[in-house]
Amino acid sequence: MWSISIYRGASPFDLRPIQPVLTKGDITDIAADFVADPFMLRRDNTWRMFFEVMNSETQRGEIGLASSTDTLSWSYEGIVLKEPVHLSYPYVFEWQNDCYMIPETLGAGAVCLYKAIDFPFRWSMSTRLIEGRFADPSVFRFKDLWWMFACSTPYQHDTLVLYYASDLVGPWTQHPKSPLIRADKCRARPAGRILNFNNRLFRFAQDCVPQYGSSVRAFEVSELTRTNYAEVELDCSPILKASGEGWNAMGMHHIDAHEQFNGSWLACVDGLMVPPSA
């Protein structure tokens, strides 16, 4: 079903594929149905990619790891995080020289923060940030506050909520304008890392019409304060969509973009070969 590729381009909104780099066939320690939801960090001149691996036997997602020094050739390192509940969307980030991960943890009934004990292989659950069932929690720091987008209707894909906190571990407060989006499958569910560059904020959303994971749309956040929120969709949106053939024939629903030293952009994305069942 889903597999992972690397894209490059002059901007995060104008990217072109290099090649599919990871499929379920690359997973060597468990039987896998698919790989999806990739996020990357670069440390010590090595890129580490974390992603969902759907375990064929348990039908639960686990978090896998692959490494690369050139972003073209990737080595699968194994499963680095598994729980009694389904895990996906391993949103990894750095803060004050430590590495953290906020995966989707619907079965835990909360948004959970994990901290790297031995990066990138060992992770420990640090705290429960927000109680409730939230899909694709996406955290970022802006104007001395932590912010988090998430989808509060994980099986309908149609509601976007927003929380904020002074400290990463909380307490987290729901924004007065939240839910920001209701009853809209086209732009509610988060689709990857929030970008903050050139003093501008951008978020990505899954377009789940006509089906889950059809394409990725891009929005600029034009206002974000403790009391107000506004956004506008970019003219180039959707920025990722089904190609009609091959590894992403039926859809795309995720992007994690990173600016390079030379000003170009690198992103890990995923694509779908067959119609989804979600």
Residue 105 clears pLDDT 80, i.e. is over it: yes
pLDDT, residue 20, reads 74
- Residue pair 101/86 in contact (Cβ under 8 Å)? The answer is no
What is the 8-class DSSP label of residue 248?
Answer: G
User: Phi first, then psi: what are they for 268, rounded to 5°?
Assistant: -105, 135
When pLDDT is averaged across residues 135-139 and rounded to a whole number, the result is 98
Q: Whole-structure pTM over 0.85, yes or no?
A: yes
Other beta carbons within 10 angstroms of residue 69's beta carbon come to 13
When pLDDT is averaged across residues 258-276 and rounded to a whole number, the result is 89
- CATH of 2-272 among 2.115.10.20, 3.90.1300.10, 2.30.30.230, 3.30.200.20: 2.115.10.20
The one-letter amino acid code at 278 reads: A
Tokens standing for residue 234: 């970019």
pLDDT, residue 116, reads 98
Tens of pLDDT, residues 21-57: 899 999 999 999 999 999 999 999 999 999 999 999 9
Tens of pLDDT, residues 189-221: 999 999 998 889 999 999 999 999 999 999 999
Domains in the chain: boundaries: 2-272
Rounded Cα distance between 108 and 112, Å, is 8
Tokens standing for residue 185: 């499958």
pLDDT, residue 26, reads 97
- Residue pair 247/24 in contact (Cβ under 8 Å)? The answer is no
- How would residue 276 be classed by pLDDT, with cut points 50, 70 and 90? low
Which of these, 134, 137, 157, lies nearest to 148 by C-alpha position?
Answer: 137
